[in-house]
């Protein structure tokens, strides 16, 4: 995607009807950077960001949504600019205590970051949807643009390796990509229903463009497209799809 194409598309979009919307599909670190730029160029009511949930997993009893969290932290200006993930100025007392007790510390969770996961897990256990929780978190973080998960159902990226199947975080973080990968699958995607607003905007006459953010196409974008009906709805769009 060149700057000139983006500029023209943005001008046409911004000058369009009040109901016009740009849809952005995003993973974590790379996609969040473009999403941040979009929020600075496009009014919040005209932008919808759909986040990948394939990386989601349960760790130490907590529901972790790495890509949604990176989007929220980045768009709120709270992310760690050096790491690209987590919160700036984070402390690590809990991880140190976990290490002292021989607990699992391969996936680093900062003290304030843990509050996000604790509250998300509590609310999920009480029946709240991932999208409602994400919307509330965005409001707390001062984010005006809409961030929604691709689905409220479980979709998990599984890396098939010569040493067996591993969840994405187990493969990428815990095992540092050492096992030889032989395939990928998105567990649950064939049964997962897309977020209603996601499909609604894909079918809307007010959709002006779909932007595929610069996230890993196999690990961050494909899990979104794998959700039931999404790929077909995207193919049926008559608007530019820009990657």
What is the rounded average pLDDT of the residues 200-218? 96
For the chain, the domains span: 22-67+84-130+147-183+194-242
pLDDT at 116 over 60: yes
Helix (H) or strand (E) holding 150: none
User: Which pLDDT tens digit goes with each residue over 40-57?
Assistant: 999 999 999 999 999 999
Helix (H) or strand (E) holding 146: strand 146-149
- pLDDT at 14 (0 to 100): 46
Half-sphere exposure in the Cβ direction for 171 (13 Å, CA): 22
Per DSSP, helices labelled H in the chain are 3-14, 29-41, 66-75, 93-100, 111-125, 130-140, 168-169, 196-202, 222-226, 230-235
Task: Give the C-alpha distances (Å, rounded to integers) separating 59 from 63, 97, 108, 186.
Answer: 7, 16, 10, 19
Q: Which CATH number fits domain 22-67+84-130+147-183+194-242: 3.40.33.10, 3.90.1150.10, 3.30.70.270, 3.40.50.10680?
A: 3.40.50.10680
User: Which pLDDT tens digit goes with each residue over 73-112?
Assistant: 999 999 999 988 899 999 999 999 999 999 999 999 999 9
User: Which pLDDT tens digit goes with each residue over 26-39?
Assistant: 999 999 999 999 99
Which of left, alpha, beta for 87 (phi over 0: left; psi -120 to 50: alpha)? beta
- What's the helix, strand, coil split of the chain in %, to 5? 40, 20, 35
Residue 79 CA to residue 130 CA, distance in Å, equals 21
Coil/strand/helix, residue 104: coil
pLDDT: which is higher, 159 or 18: 159
């Amino acid at each position: 995607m060149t700057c000139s194409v983006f500029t023209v598309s943005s001008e046409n979009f911004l000058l369009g009807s009040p109901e016009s919307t740009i849809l952005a599909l995003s993973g974590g670190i790379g996609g969040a950077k473009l999403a941040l730029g979009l929020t600075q160029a496009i009014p919040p009511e005209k932008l919808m960001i759909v986040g990948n949930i394939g990386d989601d997993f349960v760790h130490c009893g907590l529901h972790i949504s790495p890509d949604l969290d990176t989007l929220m932290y980045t768009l709120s200006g709270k992310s760690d600019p050096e790491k690209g993930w987590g919160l700036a100025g984070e402390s690590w007392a809990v991880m140190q205590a976990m290490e002292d007790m021989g607990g699992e510390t391969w996936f680093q969770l900062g003290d304030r970051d843990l509050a996000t996961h604790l509250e998300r897990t509590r609310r999920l256990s009480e029946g709240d949807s991932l999208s409602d929780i994400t919307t509330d978190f965005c409001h707390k973080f001062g984010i005006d643009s809409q961030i929604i998960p691709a689905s409220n159902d479980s979709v998990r990226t599984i890396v098939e390796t010569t040493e067996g199947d591993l969840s994405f975080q187990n493969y990428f973080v815990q095992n540092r990509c050492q096992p030889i990968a032989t395939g990928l699958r998105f567990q649950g995607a064939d049964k997962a229903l897309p977020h209603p607003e996601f499909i609604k905007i894909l079918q809307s006459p007010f959709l002006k463009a779909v932007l595929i953010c610069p996230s890993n196409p196999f690990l961050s974008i494909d899990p979104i497209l794998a959700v039931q009906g999404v790929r077909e709805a995207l193919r049926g769009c008559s608007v530019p799809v820009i990657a």
